[in-house]
Amino acid sequence: MTRQQIISELKKYFDIRELVCPHTYNRFGQNSWQFLETEILHVLLVLRIDILKTPLTINDYHKGGSHSHRGLRCNICQLVKDKTAKGEIYLSAHVNGAGLDLIPKGMTAEQARKKIESFKSLLPYPVRLEKNVSWVHIDIYDYCNNNQVNYF
């Protein structure tokens, strides 16, 4: 699939505001798609359609929820700003358009991680999953160790 095809499929399931922080959306609107790497977008589509097959909530603030930093985080997002102010490095996949936090409908994060592991051959790229968190953090940072799924 081309990047364009991936994005047009994703638009059936996700609003761009679910994938980027409010600062980014307010400045770039629909052009905010440009900041997300093709690999993570393709992985998200495969998770939604072929692996988890259930609605995935990312940012929900535009629907009255309180989460706005589960997708792309920009340099003025508080979390990122704080790290910079403290002189700490912050290279989370969230700041590189390479990672997302998902809340899958109808299953726990742990169940979703197990399912991703079982169906990892369907993943178009190697991924990383964060262990022991109540959301599914998935990103496409690649250790080049031939594992389709790495845990951190």
Interface residues with Zn ion (CB under 5 A) are 21, 23, 74, 77, 101, 137
Q: Tell me the closest approach of the beta carbon of residue 8 to Zn ion, in angstroms.
A: 25
Residue closer to Zn ion (CB basis): 77 or 129: 77
Q: Tell me the closest approach of the beta carbon of residue 64 to Zn ion, in angstroms.
A: 19
Residue closer to Zn ion (CB basis): 3 or 23: 23
For the chain, list the strands marked E by DSSP. Answer: 56-57, 99-104, 127-129, 136-139, 149-151
Q: Tell me the closest approach of the beta carbon of residue 76 to Zn ion, in angstroms.
A: 5
Question: Quick one: CA torsion of 96, 29, 58, 113, rounded to 10 degrees?
Answer: -40
Residue closer to Zn ion (CB basis): 81 or 120: 81
Query: What angle in degrees, to the nearest 10, is found between the helix axes of 38-46 and 3-10?
Result: 50
